[in-house]
Structure 1
Amino acid sequence: MIPFAKAHACGNDFLIVTEDSAANRDFAELTRRLCARNTGVGADGIEFFAWIGSKCGRVRLHNADGSIAEISGNGTRCVAAWMSSMIGAKAGDELRIETDAGLRICRINNVLADGGYSVEVTTGMGIPSSARKIVTLADGRSVEGIAVSTGNPHFVIVVEDPDFSVARNAWQTIGAEICAHSDFLHQTNVEFVRILSPEEIEIRIFERGVGPTTSSGTGTSASATAAIAFHACASNLRVLSPGGAQTVSWRGPGSELELTGPATLIARGEAWCG
């Protein structure tokens, strides 16, 4: 039996499994089994966690398909919610989480424990980098976008159509092709952005190793980076996704980006794993 906790951030759901409880198991195979929506617990990925201090932990993220990802902003926030519940954190507490993309400090802004357990968290997401890029599709068409690194890779496309289509092609189709494009050695996450106003954007996400998702913390951060750096959006930017809203604060190149949003614990349990 494998003990787990399940949490979501704007509908982007993760399992938290301690490394001790998964010792001597193949993490990739275990992730595929537990994340299966119909035959497992169901999740977008597993954060394998180890305590390294009273308010500090280390995670290694596996996507639902078993592949390793450097970081998930929403997954990190879900881990912060779980850590918060385990140690009884209060508003103002800071939790330190080591990821494969580096240290992330999560500040607990608010704790809601009435009939459930939710936190609002501001996470330092590191210093993003970005550059314009053109990707040539298999049919010869060129797609202009912005390559962004938030500790993991993203390709951000600004669109005008309300359905987020690109040249009359569904964003899911374009996202799948660009995600696996040879220009990206380790594949890439793909975001589609509609600029609603200088203070607000709306996004759709095709996540590497998962597919279309309701939300993404690093995808939100990458989309905001592109909108602020290249489309004159405000440095405090509200980002809407199908799973809900998050807020990005970023002063521009060379400064750390901060991401604020909710995370909610869903369940604790044990899973049969053979």
Structure 2
Amino acid sequence: MRLKFTKMHGLGNDFVMVDAITQRVKLSPEKIRALGDRHTGIGCDQILVVEAPRNPDVDFRYRIYNADGSEVENCGNGARCFARFVRDRRLTSKDSILVETAAGILQLNVQDRDQVSVDMGAPILEPQEIPFDADIQAETYPLDVGGEVYNVGAVSMGNPHAVLLVEDVDTAPVDALGAAIECHPRFPQKVNVGFLQIEDRTRARLRVFERGVGETRACGTGACAAMVSARLRDLVDEEVQIQLPGGTLTIHWPGPGEPVTMTGPATAVYHGQIVL
């Protein structure tokens, strides 16, 4: 199979974009892993597949695969790249695009200067819906990891996130602690882990250990979840600049029941073909 693709990134969180509308595409987990391999394939954090919608009221459907072959529900940086990709490939001329994902429908708004704004929907805070093993909803939960207890926020942005406050993200044990929390039994579908440093009420820094990937240079849903968790603790205002290793995202959230809006860049790197 000869596959046409585009390599893109959102703040360094990189993707292989595949158009499954104008070409025939059949990707097994083995082929996804081959695409994602940085030594013998194209190399990426995730593979995003553009499909025709099943819902007649939306414009596209898109599926999200981690480089390890697993399928996931949502990806904020990927959503921005998706919007630029379908515009650049002339699959649509719309500035406002409705997309169905495994996590529900997203609205993507293409702006000037490569910026894309995404309506990520209202965050999910009820533990059973995240899913997270807890009796009642709370701002934070004690989580025993190897005999040490950490207070974490638990939020779903269509995919589960644990958020830890740290004094300094540069020295936070992202790899070791992130891997331990990712597979914690209280998160039955595993979890993305955010390490959040609050600078003031409008600025924060974040590193994310992404489920099935490891630490990434940026994570859009992770930035949204971190902002929501911080706002629930009354640590930030309703709009926050979140600096990740790859760059900065603007996250806006008025409060419970309201949608989270994420704004940031999406960049095409190159177009290519690969034989699988």
TM-score w.r.t. length of structure 1: 0.89
Tell me if structure 1 keeps the 8 A contact 2:58–2:100. no
Aligned-pair distance for 1:239? 0.4
Q: Look up the match of 1:126.
A: 121
Counterpart Cα distance in 2 of 1:162 and 1:49: 35
Per-residue deviation, residues 25-80 of structure 1 (Å, max 9, x unmatched): 41x22211001011100100111111348982111111011111101011111111
Q: Look up the match of 1:185.
A: 188
Aligned-pair distance for 1:136? 0.8
Q: Secondary structure at the match of 2:106?
A: strand
Counterpart Cα distance in 2 of 1:126 and 1:162: 27
Per-residue deviation, residues 139-188 of structure 1 (Å, max 9, x unmatched): x11111100111100000011135342xxxx2211000000111111100
Mapped pair 1:213 → 2:216: yes
1:221-232 to 2 correspondence within 5 Å? 221-232=224-235
User: Structure 1 120/54 Cα, relative in aligned 2: closer, same or farther at 3 Å?
Assistant: farther
Tell me if structure 2 keeps the 8 A contact 1:5–1:16. yes
Percent identical among aligned pairs is 35
Counterpart Cα distance in 1 of 2:194 and 2:164: 6
Q: Secondary structure at the match of 1:231?
A: coil
Tell me if structure 2 keeps the 8 A contact 1:129–1:253. no
Mapped pair 1:65 → 2:68: yes
Q: Look up the match of 1:116.
A: none
Mapped pair 1:94 → 2:96: yes
Unaligned runs of 5+ in 1: 113-118
Aligned AA for 2:118?
A: T
Q: Secondary structure at the match of 1:82?
A: helix
Aligned-pair distance for 1:93? 1.5
User: Structure 1 233/153 Cα, relative in aligned 2: closer, same or farther at 3 Å?
Assistant: same
RMSD of equivalent CA atoms: 1.9
User: Structure 1 162/86 Cα, relative in aligned 2: closer, same or farther at 3 Å?
Assistant: closer
Which shifted more, 53-62 or 100-109? 53-62
Mapped pair 1:194 → 2:205: no
Q: Look up the match of 2:105.
A: 103
Tell me if structure 1 keeps the 8 A contact 2:72–2:159. yes
Counterpart Cα distance in 1 of 2:253 and 2:4: 38
Counterpart Cα distance in 2 of 1:88 and 1:70: 23
Tell me if structure 2 keeps the 8 A contact 1:164–1:194. no
Unaligned runs of 5+ in 2: 126-137
Counterpart Cα distance in 1 of 2:48 and 2:272: 15
Mapped pair 1:153 → 2:154: no
Q: Look up the match of 1:18.
A: 19
Tell me if structure 1 keeps the 8 A contact 2:118–2:261. yes
Per-residue deviation, residues 181-228 of structure 1 (Å, max 9, x unmatched): 111111000000000111000000100010010001100100111111
Aligned-pair distance for 1:124? 0.3
Counterpart Cα distance in 2 of 1:255 and 1:134: 26
Aligned AA for 2:164?
A: I
Counterpart Cα distance in 2 of 1:54 and 1:264: 28
Aligned AA for 1:258?
A: T
Counterpart Cα distance in 2 of 1:23 and 1:46: 13
Tell me if structure 1 keeps the 8 A contact 2:195–2:206. yes
TM-score w.r.t. length of structure 2: 0.89
Q: Secondary structure at the match of 2:233?
A: helix
Aligned AA for 1:74?
A: N
